Amino acid sequence: MRPSPIQLLQYVFFALTFGFTEIYGQVPGSLDTSFTPEAASSVYAIAQESTGNILVGGDFTSIGGQNRKYMARLNPHGQDMGFYIETDASVNVITVQSDGKILVGGYFTSIDGQERNRIARLNPDGTLDHTFNPNADSSVNAIALEPDGKILVGGHFTNICGQSRNRIARLHADGTLDESFYSDVSSTVYSLTLQPDGKILVGGRFTMVNGQTRNRIARLHADGSTDLSFNPNASSDVYTTVLQPDGKLLVGGTFTSIGGQTRSRIARLNASGSLDGSFYPSANSTVNSIVLQADGKMIVGGSFTNIAWRTRNRIARLNSDGVIDEDFNPNAGSSVYALSLQGDGRVLVGGSFRSMGSQVSNRLARLNNDDALSLLTVKNGTQIHWKRMGSVPEVGQVDFSYLDNEGQWVQVDSAYRVSDGWQAENFDLPLSSLIRARAHANGGMYNSSSGIIQEIITYGAGAFPSISLSVGGEALEMAAAELNFGSVQWKESSSPI
């Protein structure tokens, strides 16, 4: 039985005042049996669109019983959307642009019968963007969007856009090479992570960057030159780099030491690149992906069977201090390559597994999670606040916009991070409008894919603030005059938050 509107408001009041408890809920980490896409082979890339639809890529040639070669689009419930784009080899990475266009990287050399070497861009309807053709000579593993629309690309290539670029390059928005950026990396790049200050964290298999020793992890300045102050020195491959809100960096891969100390496959670095000695989970095999929740907890996927000194088969959740979350134990039957948090906090999982827990689940699954809350509000027409709590995904590159009289979204002053989410202020909104919060959230294999999390509310006379939350994995939206126990309108959400 679903909770009543009054119960939901009581829950929101309690959550905002005292923190989250699991009520009305499913067990965190349990399989969502309503989500059954069934991929025919491994899933590597997962990215969400602003609509809540899910883009997936990998080695599969069918998904949900439909012929889908290496890439598919699913609705928020896991059902195929009739999106058919045919590549001739695997898709490793998918990144969604703010305009809805879709950047794709991998091993392919053609899309829909047209030559596209390892990187391409699709229009929102899935057709090929004929204006974009960078032409990489080897695999693309990572694509990261800069705030100005430029595109960072990492992989195994040594030539892109017809020019020599060793394993990393930056493109203009139209796909042409940005010649103001140059970095020479000696071997494969798996992960690219942007810092708010414009610096770029790079993880991979390399041992040299720009002629200087950098073992598997490095930081670049915005022009591609090496940040000489940063040198953690990993003993083996770094697959994933994830930036925390406090500036610390989570790192996963195959290494057994980093920062001059023993750390098995997972570690946390301070902003300077020195090791965070307080964080020591230790995994017994590869870590492929790490995703952060807004509450500071992190979900980890890979091929390990033990992490933080607990049995956990290929997927686990750690508390912010690296201690195992005892309540979360999905038990994947084989390797987990990709993780992504939906807007409502539920966990999308891709890999080579054929089971999750004791139930059949072929290579793409969704897990229930702790309760989540996202609350977008406007104060006095001059301040927008996006409260994000519980298991909602940690996000970056947040912007707030309003819809003008011409039907165009107008961005307000830059959003900045506050203790419970994001905020912007010192601007004047129209008397009534739609208000949009939009952000990027990373996920997928090596955390190298990126999707969009979006929330829209009505602002102005007669409009109520919007409350979006997930209670026990059920996504709900409400509009309420006040956060009290009075009259409330609500509806079941047709898509994740």
Cα(465)–Cα(377) distance, rounded to whole angstroms? 6
Contacts 24+ apart (CB under 8 A), 165-170: 167/204, 167/206, 168/192, 168/202, 168/224, 169/134, 170/146, 170/224
- Is a pLDDT exceeding 90 seen at residue 305? yes
With bands split at pLDDT 50, 70 and 90, how would you rate the model's confidence at 18? very low
- Summarize pLDDT for 118-176 with one digit per residue, the tens: 999 999 999 999 999 999 999 999 999 999 999 999 999 999 999 999 999 999 999 99
User: Is pLDDT larger for residue 461 or for residue 245?
Assistant: 245
Question: How many other C-beta atoms lie within 10 A of the C-beta of residue 182?
Answer: 18
Q: Residue 343: pLDDT above 50?
A: yes
What pLDDT does 14 receive? 43
CA distance 440 to 445: 16
For residue 479, name the pLDDT band (cuts at 50, 70, 90): very low
Q: 369-392, pLDDT tens digit by residue?
A: 998 989 999 988 889 999 999 999
Domains of the chain: 5-9+372-492 (2.60.40), 30-367 (2.130.10.10)
Per-residue pLDDT band for 461 (boundaries 50, 70, 90) equals low
Report pLDDT for 327: 95
The mean pLDDT value for 419-432 works out to: 90
**pLDDT at position 23 over 70:** no
pLDDT higher than 70, residue 297: yes
Edge-to-edge strands, sheet with 396-403: 119-122, 102-106, 91-96, 449-459, 433-443, 396-403, 409-411
Q: Is the pLDDT of residue 477 over 50?
A: no
- d(C-alpha 44, C-alpha 350), whole Å: 6
Residue 146's SS3 state is coil
In this prediction, residues 91-103 reach a mean pLDDT of 97
Does residue 104 contact residue 86 with C-beta atoms inside 8 Å? no
Element (H, E) at 407: none
Taking Cα atoms as reference points, which of 177, 200, 203 lies closest to residue 190?
203
Is the pLDDT score of 21 beyond 60?
A: no
Average pLDDT over residues 326-352: 97
pLDDT at 83: 86
Higher per-residue confidence, 376 vs 1: 376
Asked if residue 43 has pLDDT above 90, the reply is yes
- Please state, for a pLDDT cut of 70, what percent of the chain lies above it: 88
User: CA-to-CA distance for 202 and 224, rounded, in angstroms?
Assistant: 11
pLDDT band at residue 463 using 50, 70 and 90 as cut-offs: low
Residue 472 reports pLDDT greater than 50: no
Q: Taking all residues of the chain, what is their mean pLDDT, rounded to a whole number? A: 89
Residues 189-226: tens digit of each pLDDT: 999 999 999 999 999 999 999 999 999 999 999 999 99
| pLDDT top residue among 413 and 262 | 262
